[in-house]
Structure 1
Amino acid sequence: MAQPHDRLVRALLDDVDRMAAILDGLAEPPLPCGPTEGRLVRLRDVLIDPDLRRSEPDFLYALDGGEEPRDLIVVEHLSRQTPNVPLRALAHKTTLYQDVERSLGPNARFPNVHVVVLYHGASRWSAPREFEELYARKEGNPGSRTNVIVHVIDLGRFDDGEIRRRLGRCAAALLVLLLNHGRGKEIRSRLREWDDLFRATVEEKGGLSLLRAMVWYLYFVSDIAPEEVHALPFAQESEETKTMIKTTAERLREEGLHEGLEKGWQGGLQEGLDKGLREGLRKGLETLLVARFGEIPRELAERIASSDADTLEAMLRRAPAVDAPADLLDGSAP
Structure 2
Amino acid sequence: MTRSEAFRPAFLVAVLCAALVVLCLLSIALGARSIPLDQVVQALLGRSPSRLVENVVWSVRVPRTALGLTAGAALGLSGALMQALTRNPLADPGLLGVSAGAAFAIVLSVAVLGIGTLFGYIWFAFAGALVASVVVFLLGRLGRSGLTPVKLALAGVAVTSLLTSLTSAVVLTDPEALNRYRFWAAGSLADGTGDVVLQILPFVGAGAVLALVCAPALNSLALGDDVAASLGRRLGLVRLQGVAAVTLLTGAAVTVIGPVVFIGLVVPHLARILAQQARLGPDHRWLLPLSAMLAPCLLLSADIIGRVAVRPSEIQAGILVAFIGGPFFIAMVRRRRLAEV
Question: With structure 2 as the length reference, what TM-score do the two structures score?
Answer: 0.23
Bigger proportion of residues as helix: 2
Structure with larger Rg: 1
Question: With structure 1 as the length reference, what TM-score do the two structures score?
Answer: 0.23
